[in-house]
Amino acid sequence: MDSSMRLELTRPVMALSRGSCLPEAPHGAHLNGCVPLSHQVAGHKYGIDKVGILQHPDGTVLKQLQPPPRGPREMHFYSMVCAEDSGDPCLVELRAHLPKYYGTMSSPDVPTELYLKLEDVTRCFSRPCIMDVKIGQRSYDPFASQEKREQQVRKYPLMEEIGFLVLGMRVYKVGSDSFDTYDQHYGRGLVKDTIKDGLSKFFYNGKILRKDAITASILKVQKILQWFEGQSRFHFYASSLLFVYEGICASSAASQTLQEPTTTPGACEQNNNIHQTVYSMHTRSCVKSHNKTNQDNGLWSSSQQPNGNCSLARLEENPKETRSQDGQDVEVKMIDFAHVFPSDVSDHGYIYGLKNLLEVLHQILEE
Ligand SMILES: Nc1ncnc2c1ncn2[C@@H]1O[C@H](COP(=O)(O)OP(=O)(O)OP(=O)(O)O)[C@@H](O)[C@H]1O
Ligand SMILES: [Mg+2]
């Protein structure tokens, strides 16, 4: 990325102050320092792929649009679901399961490069454990070429039978105050007999199985299932659920000597700065590394006129408060809508995947 890249604000944006979940006063100033999303667990990555996901200093993430038709399709989906004036109950209910959408951004230097500006689902967690699970019995859409279909089936032949695929995860280990990360090869290595144990690793913090996080996740997935059972307007292919839970829990906090309280104002910016161990079923590699916060001092500001219509004022919401009221430090959000299509029947493939995922989560809980 060009570190001298500069984008102009065309409309004041409520900027989130770093290290705080509360909004700053609105201003039209430049915002510095977009960096590759350091806690990304799957998908296209900056520096590796042509497009990727960035972290904006205001606490949002920027997802670069894929080339057409995928990128524009995802943008239109967010715009439609998050249209402020839409009172359509189906869309209003769905909106609650998506990251908040703040419109698009583009660079004056490269105006053709568009970014979706999204809520960072992990942003107010202190030690976010994150898992990306692709849902559905098919990873390819009805318009995919034969070659694409075969490629997708080859990648995970069990998709049809299992109905979901772990694309990546990072799991907090209380003993070492570090994260273990698992890449896409790990998930592809899971078969019917090992899927339960494979998935349960996401909830194991090195000392205990986080049954509280499993229970809360089940409740959230059930809500999403409810929405799917009531709609027959959309089909989702190769779309994911992003699971996030707080790595620091009451029992782990007692058994370690972490200095920070679990909800320090600085949590939003410090949640990536600790050691991690990387696992891949495929390579069985185990690499210790530091997860650097790549402080790019290049100037980035916003924005093209947000066109997604989710109110920017939503940045004012304080998700931490909402979570603590629930008593649950867990989020489950639907992401990745590059292959969503209109339909007039239920999305049986997605529903099958959700039900099987719920079944496996229940099995882990019963251990
Ligand atoms: N709103 C978000 N908040 C936090 N993390 C996110 C968010 N959106 C995406 N991510 C991170 O980025 C990863 C990839 O996201 P996504 O699936 O949208 O991109 P992708 O797979 O590269 O997209 P595509 O399939 O359209 O090419 C996720 O696994 C997650 O770690
Ligand atoms: Mg994805």
Give the model confidence (pLDDT) of 95-118 as tens digits.
Answer: 999 999 999 998 767 888 899 999
90: left (phi over 0), alpha (psi -120 to 50) or beta: alpha
pLDDT for 251 beyond 80: no
* Range in 10-19, 237-246, 251-260, 347-356 with the lowest mean pLDDT: 10-19
Give the residue-averaged pLDDT of 266-277: 52
The first and second tokens of residue 292, run together, are 């650097």
Considering only the top CATH level, what class is 3-365? alpha beta
Burial zone of 201 (CB within 10 Å; 0-12 exposed, 13-18 middle, 19+ buried):
middle
Average pLDDT of the chain is: 78
Is this model's pTM higher than 0.85 or not? no
Place of tokens 């239920």: 346
Q: Please say whether the dihedral angle defined by the alpha carbons of residues 132, 349, 217 and 256, taken in this order, is positive or negative.
A: negative
Q: Which pLDDT band holds residue 76 (cuts at 50, 70, 90)?
A: very high
Please list every protein residue whose CB sits less than 6 Å from any atom of ligand 1. 37, 40-44, 53, 61, 63, 66, 70, 74, 99, 118-122, 130, 132, 168, 240, 242, 335-336, 338
**Residues, Cβ < 5 Å to ion ligand 2:** 43, 336
Of 81-85, 168-172, 286-290, 315-319, the least confident: 286-290
Question: Which of 10-24, 278-292, 295-309 holds the top average pLDDT?
Answer: 278-292
Mean pLDDT, residues 224-248 taken together: 98
What's the confidence (pLDDT) of residue 33?
A: 77
Give the number of the ligand closest to the Cα of residue 334: 1
Mean pLDDT score, 311-315: 36
**Ligand sitting nearest the alpha carbon of 336:** 1
pLDDT digit string, tens, across residues 134-179: 999 999 999 999 999 999 999 999 999 999 999 999 999 999 999 9
Going by C-alpha positions, the residue among 203, 241, 210 that lies closest to residue 224 is: 241
Please, are residues 245 and 129 in contact by the beta-carbon 8 Å criterion? yes
Distance, first Cα to last Cα, the chain: 47
At 350 the pLDDT is 98
151-154 long-range CB contacts below 8 Å, 24 or more apart? 152/238
Residue nearest to atom 12 of ligand 1 (CA): 40
- How do residues 27-53 score in pLDDT, each as one tens digit? 322 334 789 999 999 999 888 887 889
**Residue 274: pLDDT band with limits 50, 70, 90:** low
Tokens of 236: 């989702």
Residue 170's nearest CA partner among 206, 214, 128 is 128
- Residues pairing with 23 in the sheet: 16
pLDDT, position 2 = 34
Residue nearest to atom 25 of ligand 1 (CA): 336
Which residue, judged by its Cα, is nearest atom 20 of ligand 1? 43
Instruction: Tell me how far the alpha carbon of residue 312 lies from the centroid of ligand 1, in angstroms.
Output: 21
CB contact burial 301-321 (16+ within 10 A = b; e otherwise):
bbbbebebbbebeebeeebbe
| 348 has a pLDDT exceeding 50 | yes
Res 275: pLDDT: 66
Return the percentage of the chain with pLDDT > 70, whole number.
Answer: 71
Q: Is residue 125 pLDDT above 90, yes or no?
A: yes
How far is CA 46 from each of CA 49, 74, 246, rounded to the nearest angstrom?
A: 6, 19, 26
Identify the weakest region by mean pLDDT among 66-75, 102-111, 198-207, 355-364.
102-111
- The average pLDDT across 275-299 equals 42
Give one DSSP letter per residue of 139-201, joined into a string: SS-TT--HHHHHHHHHH-TTHHHH-EEEEEEEEEETTTTEEEEE-HHHHHT--TTTHHHHHHG
